[in-house]
Structures are given as C-alpha cells and as structure tokens.
A and B are shown apart, each in its own frame.
Chain A
Amino acid sequence: MNQAKAPKIRKINKKIRVFPVTLTLFILSSSFSIFPLDLPEPQSSINISGIVDQTKIPLNRILTLKVTLSWIGDPGIFTILNFNDPVLTNLEITGTSTSSRTEAVDQGIRVIREYEYLLKPEGLGMAYIESVSVKVHNNRDETDEILQTRRIPVEVVEPVPEKEKKGNWILLFIILILTPASAIIILIYLRQKKNQQMSLSQEIQEPTEIHYLNELRNTCDPDNLDLQKDFPTLSQLLRRFLTEKFKIRAMEATTNELVAELRSTEMHENQIQSINEILSRTDEIKFSGTKGNREEFIRFYTLIEGMLETFLRKPEKKTQQSDKNQGEEIQ
C-alpha cells in the first residue's frame, strides 16, 4: 500500500518546488507590462503614412494612393527636400494632386501634407506600391531624414462592366425616340403653318381664270381693235393660261404639239378643237402676213372668254374630267 502511494507523493513534491519559480516569472512579466520601460523619445516627430482606397481593384478602375506627412508643431520645423514618386509594380500613375492643411490638436497645431496619386492597374494579378520615400530637413536640429511608407499589396481583378456604356445605350434610346417624335412635331407644326398660309393666300389670291379674264378684257378692247397686234396677244394669253392651268409647256410648244399635249389631259375634245382653231389661225396671221378680220377676232375673243368662265364655274376636278356639257357650252 505505501509502495503504491510513493509515485504520487513524489509528483506533488516536484510541483511544490517548481511553483515559486513560475510565480516569480509571472510577477516579473506582469510588472514589465504595467510599468513600461522608459525608452528614449524619437528624434523627429514627423510621420509618414500611405493608404489606398481599396485593396482589390478591377482592371478598368483607378486606385487612389494617399501619402500623408504630418507633424505637430511649427509648420516651418520641417522642409521637404525631395518627394519621390511611388515605386510601383503592375500599376502606372495617371494623375497626381497635393494638398496642405493644418488642424488644432491638444498638443498644438498638426501640420498635414497630403500627396494623392491616381494609379491605373496594368494587368490582372497582384500589384504593389513598393514604397514612397521622402527626404525631409529638420530645421531645428539641422538634420536630414528619409521617411518611407510600407509596401502595400493590391489585387487587380477582372474588369467590371462600364456603367457609362449602359448610360450611353439609354441615351441613344432616348435620342432614337425623341428625334422622330420631335421631327413629327415640327412637321405637324410646319404643315399647319403652311396650311394656314395657303388658306390665307387662297383667300387673298384670285383664281387663275379671273386673272386671265381681267387681262383679256383689259388688253383686248373689241370696240377699239388693232388686229395686227391683238391676234398675237390673244394667242399668247391663251398659251399662258394653258401653261398655268395644266402645267404644260404651252409657250415652247408649236400648235400641233400643244394640241397633242392637251389630248393627254382630260380636257374635252371640243375645247381642244377650239384651241386648235384659234392657235392655227393666229399662227397664220402671225407668220403669213394675213390680216384677220374683226368678226374672226370677236369670235375667238368670245371663245376664250367663254372657256375661262366655264373653267371658273367648274371645280378643278371637273374641269379636268371629260365633261361633254362643258364642251357644248364653249361651242
């Protein structure tokens, strides 16, 4: 029984011997953390830091690196001698900017100089901002110091869809919808305006027939005739009227050509024959030295006057349609 208890007693004795050493070591370590060592203060109170706005950047986006130099105290304590661009891997600088500001803190004034770099990834994978080194001069103790930022890793990932493109499609869609719509609106507006003008001008303008009737009555006076002049005048007036009424080249066509052309319109045959008779006879008078007589002239005058009045009475469509009665009236 005593032999069985012996190993246990030896174990307990061993623990009792180790405990004071462990305790001493614990006390020593605890007192060291509670009461820190009195380390010497750094020579310079200027700090540098470098931060990026994101550690994972799509290939088609821009990364912003902000390097900040700051110190507390007089802004003139430190002079920045040299600020080197960041050493980059898989990144390239696309833009830079700097700013300087101060802010009040408990210890006095904090001077902050910020340097911002816009960095564009060059390819997929890891990219690094190795370091940014800045050389500063301490004006108080006339010493130079080189500050460096730590290495910042950035992961370049697959490009993301461009939001702008989507916007373009929407813009294009809007344009496609708006352009025809606006064109239609403008066309409707112009048409309305034209219609208004046309109705106005129709109100103002007298019918072609009235114009030629007036001209006929004003230029040829049956009571005071100069037959040598009046026959050609009659022919000219008739040709001008036919040009205007039927939109044909009556002034350039010979009598036969004109008659043939009138047959292609829907003018009544009797009217065409009357025109043929008038023009053929006036041609003869004009080109053969024949003197027409007064009765002949009065007959032609009446024929033309009657024709104009008939056209005036009949609406546009009916004048161009085959209408036998019309021809009979002229005869």
Chain B
Amino acid sequence: MNKDIQAINTMIQQESAFVEKLLSEIGKVIIGQKYMVERLLIALFSNGHALLEGVPGLAKTLAVRTLSAAIQTRFQRIQFTPDLLPADLIGTLVYDQKSGEFRTKKGPIFSNLILADEINRSPAKVQSALLEAMMERQVTIGENTFPMDDPFLILATQNPIEQEGTYPLPEAQVDRFMLKLVIGYPNKEEELKIMRLNAGEKLPQPDPVITPEDIKRARLAVSQVYIDEKIERYIIDIVFATRNPSEYKLEDLNELIAYGASPRASIYLSQASKAHAFLRGRGYVTPEDVRAIGLDVLRHRVIVTYEAEAEETTAEDVVRKVLNHIEVP
C-alpha cells in the first residue's frame, strides 16, 4: 500500500474506533433501524443534512434524540405547522422596554441537531428560512448575522401519506439535503423487542460516547479518506447516466427521466461514500460504499417524467436501474 494511504488507513481505523460503541449505545434505545442510524451518522460525519420519509411511529424522533444524547449535543424538535412563521424558527428582534433597545431572541434553530418534523406542513417561506440556514450555516436576524452551532445537522421528516393541505418541498430545495432516507417498518423480531422495551417504566438512556470535538475530528478524518480515480469516475458515470441514459445503453430510461442528478449529487456521493468507508473503518472508498449510499443520495435528485409517473415508475426505480447497470471499476 502506498505509504500515505497506509497512514490514512491506520488513522481512519483509530478515529473510527468509537463507531461500534456509538452504534451499540444507540441500539440500546433504537431497536433495528440500523439503516437509518448509519445514515444519520454518515450525514453527521460528512456535514450534510438528511430528509427522512416514513410513516409515523418509526422512531424517527427517538433516533435523533438518542443520537443527540450519545454525542452530547443539543437537540431541538420543531413541529412544522401551516401557521408557523420564519421568526418562530430563526428568532426575531424583541423590544426591551427597560433598555429601550431591540434585543435578539434566537429561535430553536440555534442548536446542534434539529428535527424539523413534517417539514411539508409549513408554507414555502418557513421552508426557505430553514433551507437557507442549512446551506449558509448562518442566520441573519435584523442587522446581525449569527453562525450556526457546530455540529449543525438538520433532519427533516416528511410523511408520505396525508398529502392533502401540505406544501411539498420544491426540487431545488430537496436537492440541498445530502440524503433522503426512506424508513421502513421493523421486522417481527425487532418489533417484538420494541414492544418489550416499551413495556417497561422508562426507556434506557444511552451513555455519552463522543463529544462535539470528536465529531469535528471524525469529519476531518472522513475528508481524508482516500478515493481512487477509478471510483471517482464510477461516481461520475452513475451521475451522468441519470442525465444521458442513452450514452450508457440505458435508452429505455430516456423517456422516464425529466432531469438527471445535479453536480451536488457527485459531490455528496463522493462525501457520503467516504463517510460510509469511515464507518467500516476503511481508509479508502470501494464500489461497495458507492453502491451502499447511492440510492440515498440520488433518489431525490432525479426527476421523473409524467410518462414515468403514469407507468408508476419512481425516481428510486430509475436510480436502482442505473446503479445495477453501470459496470463497477
């Protein structure tokens, strides 16, 4: 192995040693849902945000709360409602009668882990305020600009049912989420464990495993994970196949894709693959990492045509087909 890469590999193995302990602590409270927990960590370590889609009752809030406790960060849950205002989210200027001056009252967004529950229940102006904070990592209230806390991770949830009276996120805004996770039901054994766990008086609490400082270090380590040019080209091929399917002998997708994935997809796919490799204690990215995270990075970035919708072909189907078609390096 190249000496530099060998050093990276060793460093990653050391830095990622806490991952197993962290997963174990979260696993005390969250039964199953390994997919969701792993991807929350990927978002956390690659400085992205995640959109969670799943029916109510799948422990989305509990997972974020538990993660927050395990990594010793502050957690805020904001329930998005139709009457929510941007000021309710980011804060506002309050007139102080004693001093006769306006005082800044920061909103709940000033926290480390934010759970934006049912983000599609609020109108576009509130969504925009949140998404702006996500990208800029700062919020301006009056004349003052305030940087967001670090780590700053937004986990927004969407309910796939009850779409009436909701404000679906525009494609441009959905694109800002690094990952879109589709949360499924637990299996029988997991559900049995969940049932037994919840039969007790109190849920177990996770022990703190890492600090925000450890997270910053882990992020630095993730950014140093080696990604070979062959893997980079593999990522580019996947993303380009969503834009020009016929170039990759995927002519049948031509009619189904209205817009392919943006360059953000390539960036996030690379970063998320590195984070996935980090979770596996590897200092280099393999096609396994790209394939493992590809669907979560791409499913909300490919816009399907009306014809595809009529055929009940989803963006996920399209991405799956692309991933299964492109040759691994």
Chain A residues proximal to chain B, CB less than 8 Å = 249, 251-257, 283-284, 286-291
- CB-based nearest B residue for A290: B1
Bound Cα distance from A131 to B196, whole angstroms: 111
Residues of B within 8 A of A291 (CB): 1-2
Residues of B within 8 A of A254 (CB): 286-288, 291, 328
Residues of A within 8 A of B2 (CB): 288-291
User: How many residues on chain B are close to A (CB under 8 Å)?
Assistant: 21
Bound Cα distance from A289 to B230, whole angstroms: 11
Chain B residues proximal to chain A, CB less than 8 Å = 1-2, 5, 9, 226, 228, 230-231, 283-288, 291, 324-329
Q: A249-B324, A252-B324 are in contact. Are A288 and B5 (CB under 8 A)?
A: yes
The listed residue with most B CB atoms (<10 A of its CB), out of A249, A253, A287, is: A287
Q: A254-B286, A254-B287 are in contact. Are A286 and B230 (CB under 8 A)?
A: yes
Residues of A within 8 A of B5 (CB): 288-290
Asked if B291 and A289 make an inter-chain contact with CB atoms under 8 angstroms apart, the answer reads no
Asked if B226 and A288 make an inter-chain contact with CB atoms under 8 angstroms apart, the answer reads yes
The listed residue with most A CB atoms (<10 A of its CB), out of B5, B226, B287, B329, is: B287
The minimal Cβ–Cβ distance linking A253 to chain B, given in whole angstroms, is: 7
Asked if B288 and A289 make an inter-chain contact with CB atoms under 8 angstroms apart, the answer reads no
The minimal Cβ–Cβ distance linking B233 to chain A, given in whole angstroms, is: 12
Asked if B226 and A289 make an inter-chain contact with CB atoms under 8 angstroms apart, the answer reads yes
Residues of B within 8 A of A256 (CB): 288
A-B CB contact pairs (8 Å), 16 listed? A249-B324, A252-B325, A254-B286, A283-B288, A284-B284, A284-B286, A286-B329, A287-B284, A287-B285, A287-B287, A288-B1, A288-B226, A288-B228, A289-B1, A289-B5, A290-B1
Asked if A252 and B327 make an inter-chain contact with CB atoms under 8 angstroms apart, the answer reads yes
Q: A254-B291, A257-B291 are in contact. Are A289 and B284 (CB under 8 A)?
A: yes
17 more CB-based (< 8 A) A-B contacts, given A254-B287, A289-B226:
A254-B288, A254-B291, A254-B328, A255-B288, A283-B288, A284-B286, A286-B228, A286-B329, A287-B231, A287-B286, A288-B1, A288-B2, A288-B226, A288-B283, A289-B2, A289-B284, A290-B2
The minimal Cβ–Cβ distance linking B292 to chain A, given in whole angstroms, is: 9
Bound Cα distance from A287 to B277, whole angstroms: 12
Asked if B328 and A251 make an inter-chain contact with CB atoms under 8 angstroms apart, the answer reads yes
Bound Cα distance from A62 to B94, whole angstroms: 109
The minimal Cβ–Cβ distance linking A330 to chain B, given in whole angstroms, is: 24
Bound Cα distance from A253 to B327, whole angstroms: 7
Bound Cα distance from A284 to B228, whole angstroms: 11
The listed residue with most A CB atoms (<10 A of its CB), out of B5, B283, B324, B327, is: B327
- CB-based nearest A residue for B291: A254
Residues of B within 8 A of A257 (CB): 291
Bound Cα distance from A256 to B287, whole angstroms: 10
Residues of A within 8 A of B1 (CB): 288-291
The minimal Cβ–Cβ distance linking B328 to chain A, given in whole angstroms, is: 6
Bound Cα distance from A287 to B324, whole angstroms: 20
Residues of A within 8 A of B326 (CB): 252
Bound Cα distance from A288 to B225, whole angstroms: 10
Residues of B within 8 A of A287 (CB): 228, 230-231, 284-287, 329
Closest 9 CB pairs of A and B: A289-B2, A290-B1, A288-B284, A289-B5, A254-B288, A287-B228, A254-B287, A251-B327, A287-B286
Residues of A within 8 A of B230 (CB): 286-287
Bound Cα distance from A290 to B283, whole angstroms: 12
Residues of B within 8 A of A252 (CB): 324-328
Bound Cα distance from A257 to B323, whole angstroms: 12
Bound Cα distance from A288 to B7, whole angstroms: 11
Residues of A within 8 A of B288 (CB): 254-256, 283
- CB-based nearest B residue for A285: B1
Residues of B within 8 A of A255 (CB): 286-288
The minimal Cβ–Cβ distance linking A262 to chain B, given in whole angstroms, is: 15
Bound Cα distance from A259 to B192, whole angstroms: 31
